Structure 1
């Protein structure tokens, strides 16, 4: 059994690449292993060796070797098994190697020693972001309930909800994978596949939502043109195909001895180029949308900033991939990816929260979007529905003014009819039987008393008659 060390520097895997898939014969590869690391284990010399005879006549030998390696820095180790002495007839001298092997490597302190140097913080990172996304998912559920009550839970918001919960499920699978690996040193391929699947769904949902929002759908327009829908569908189909091709190519079609990063493949490069194209298109779409509709400016400024930051993060991570050491790459890129994703999801939940009126983007209800009752356009334009509503309001106001005018005329006529009756009542007043006249104070006031005093009595006694009239 041979093992090879990385070389460090710019030719990190130079020694291994010179041996792996090369034209060197077994003896030459044996010599490279001795020169680079000096580590060659002869399995026939190990004390842990037993022979097992199978029913078909084959005899298999079981051997076990254990060793320890101390290095001054983090390194990659590549193990290989070879049979170079083809002339001998003793054990372990067959012309080929029919082998079933298991390699158990430990590293670091107790409790985390199954993780390599490039994986030392993956479990802690997954647990932390799983807890963070539990709170984000709870907040998204609360916002969804509020938007449903206000009838403003649009399709674009549902894409955000799906993306958040897919990320939460992905992190749950990551926690399961890394917890089992921490305890037993064994992977769980099923949960790893589920994690990659939900990560892809979450990413595609965000991409779709970004494109629709940048076109103004559910924000300032009710419908996207047929050509616009076709272009969005073509781009999304290419992106989804490239993403899952990259995942399948990395998990099934790539030799792990050649590639140590998922996006260091040709589908990964295609994804990076698609992200760059989407980044440029988003800024152009924002300018066109604001130029045509000139509304929701504050929302689009914040939305474009955080969404474009996440979109361009993949090409940046691919570039960082070549700038950092291989043994530090996995945990760094995993943490940056989850941080930017959590930042984007959290920002979108704040923007979609109806409590923050300054950034809340929706003014049309879901019913209006489905039935077309509101034309999502420039607020200065007047739609046909608004004209009909204004005409109906004007008709009702005109009718109310007519009713008030008729009431005013009737009241005037009533007052005019009351005036002669009151005059006749005053002039032709009669005393009720049995009532005496008031004493006359002096002769000089007889005429005035005869005019004033009866009027006072008449108004006091005859008011009920006037009211009944």
Structure 2
């Protein structure tokens, strides 16, 4: 990671919102409106954080400030409860008290003067060029701050390069980010294969007039997921090269990931309500309720996303789900699960014959709904802090892959998804029943005493490859309806008796 800043004497210096990128920050003392007075100057400020390996951690720095502003210090805190948590956002502690928690025997204070050999400072304008190696018994978070206690505040320019070894895959990465690039590349390849398979099956389904709206939504979710992973891989690849990357690519990748999630969630709720399984369309009231719910859900999701981007504090938060925004996203997912349960239960109540489809469907995606929240809670309380982000990233992508593969298999397998494929037949039977009832009413009114095998016929064409023919007649004891349906290569011939009309 490479960081570059310019600091001037300032009041209430904000924590840096972004750890990545080459930043040039010029902070000047804010004046009180209408008075021209300056606020007190800051004498302690947080710069950045980094998780170093046990033996290969390295900090290289260059600090430059006027000799008249001497003397300023680099403070190196680690993640022990007696160190960083004891000083960060503790207004009751002054600069000296925040310095006092550091252990001199661990070389945690670098005095930026010519008197401190390891500072690398030279006279006149103090230009301090040096470095520091980090060794510990485990991977450990280090928090870097600056101080100038008892003086007129901080004023300096600095550059820092924080590294872990010399490998392309580890050099600029904090230890908690190890493996994220490799994981994203792996899932990009797998999701690309899933998307290509879904396109192949979509082509086959379209030829058989079975390409449903829910399957198109699944393809959209899978395609957007591929784009999301592509942007993440490009971002992490650039970051691995120069320690800077392009923050816009990461934000775009997160946005696309959220879009993919929301489309997939909407698809699951629609299937739970029976869309393309027990019905061809959602009722008007159901559509309105679903539209309102998804609009509120999306707006809340965007608000939490913006909150995370604007108020993410690297001094306190280690990864997305370890923040108020992360807990909010987990809560939203559980609320969506409640709607999903309600939709499935109502569908089973009205169509108990669909139980062979809905029981495994409900079980499978219950795991999907709970996997990320449960995993995040376990990570927050049971996984070492330096390993959380990479573990959560891998598990989250794995859960999404599981959900997509299960849907792809159930939708395209010849025996797994009969309710979806037979939706057209169900619709045809409903239409034929309505048409036959009308025609039999006319038939009875016109020929009340007729008794012959065949009286009239009707041909219904649903598409170039789907059509039905109806043959209606009457015997002495019953009316009957004979209809023949052709769906591509599938032919159905049924004889349906209807109540006898004397």
TM-score, length basis structure 1: 0.72
C-alpha contact 1:352 1:361 (8 A) present in aligned 2: no
**Bigger Rg over Cα:** 1
Q: Give the one of 321, 324, 327 matched to 2:386.
A: 327
Classify 1:42/1:280 alpha carbon distance in 2 versus 1 (closer, same or farther; 3 Å).
same
In structure 2, the residue matched to 1:245 is 303
The answer to whether residue 4 in structure 2 is matched with residue 4 in structure 1 is: no
Deviations, residues 220-262 of structure 1 (Å, cap 9, x unaligned):
1123233322332232223212222222212222221121121
- Correspondence 1:63-78 to 2 at 5 A: 63-78=128-143
Deviation at 1:213, TM superposition (A): 0.5
Local SS of the residue matching 1:221: coil
C-alpha RMSD of the superposition: 2.9
Mapped partners of 2:317, 2:349: distance in 1: 46
C-alpha contact 1:262 1:268 (8 A) present in aligned 2: yes
Classify 1:30/1:221 alpha carbon distance in 2 versus 1 (closer, same or farther; 3 Å).
same
In structure 1, the residue matched to 2:456 is 395
Mapped partners of 2:205, 2:239: distance in 1: 41
Deviations, residues 2-25 of structure 1 (Å, cap 9, x unaligned):
110111xxx4xx521221222322
C-alpha contact 1:15 1:36 (8 A) present in aligned 2: no
Local SS of the residue matching 2:76: strand
Mapped partners of 1:235, 1:217: distance in 2: 17
In structure 2, the residue matched to 1:149 is 207
C-alpha contact 2:113 2:121 (8 A) present in aligned 1: no
Q: Give the one of 40, 64, 77 matched to 2:109.
A: 40
Local SS of the residue matching 2:128: strand
The answer to whether residue 282 in structure 2 is matched with residue 209 in structure 1 is: no
Local SS of the residue matching 1:361: helix
Classify 1:315/1:398 alpha carbon distance in 2 versus 1 (closer, same or farther; 3 Å).
closer
- Correspondence 1:40-439 to 2 at 5 A: 40-45=109-114, 46-47=119-120, 49=122, 62-86=127-151, 95-108=152-165, 110-111=167-168, 112-320=170-378, 321-353=380-412, 355-363=413-421, 375=430, 383-385=433-435, 387=437, 395-396=456-457
Deviation at 1:394, TM superposition (A): 5.8
Structure 1: runs of 5+ lacking an equivalent = 52-59, 87-94, 377-381, 402-469
Deviations, residues 348-406 of structure 1 (Å, cap 9, x unaligned):
111221x513424324678x99xx86759xxxxx730354688998624679x9xxxxx
Deviation at 1:68, TM superposition (A): 0.5
Deviation at 1:130, TM superposition (A): 0.9
Classify 1:115/1:305 alpha carbon distance in 2 versus 1 (closer, same or farther; 3 Å).
same
Mapped partners of 2:299, 2:156: distance in 1: 38
More helix as a share of residues: 1
Local SS of the residue matching 2:161: coil
Local SS of the residue matching 2:133: coil
Deviation at 1:71, TM superposition (A): 0.6
Mapped partners of 2:384, 2:267: distance in 1: 35
C-alpha contact 1:170 1:194 (8 A) present in aligned 2: yes
Aligned length: 371
Deviations, residues 39-97 of structure 1 (Å, cap 9, x unaligned):
1111223335587xxxxxxxx754322110111101000000111252xxxxxxxx121
Mapped partners of 2:274, 2:99: distance in 1: 64
Classify 1:29/1:394 alpha carbon distance in 2 versus 1 (closer, same or farther; 3 Å).
farther
More strand as a share of residues: 2
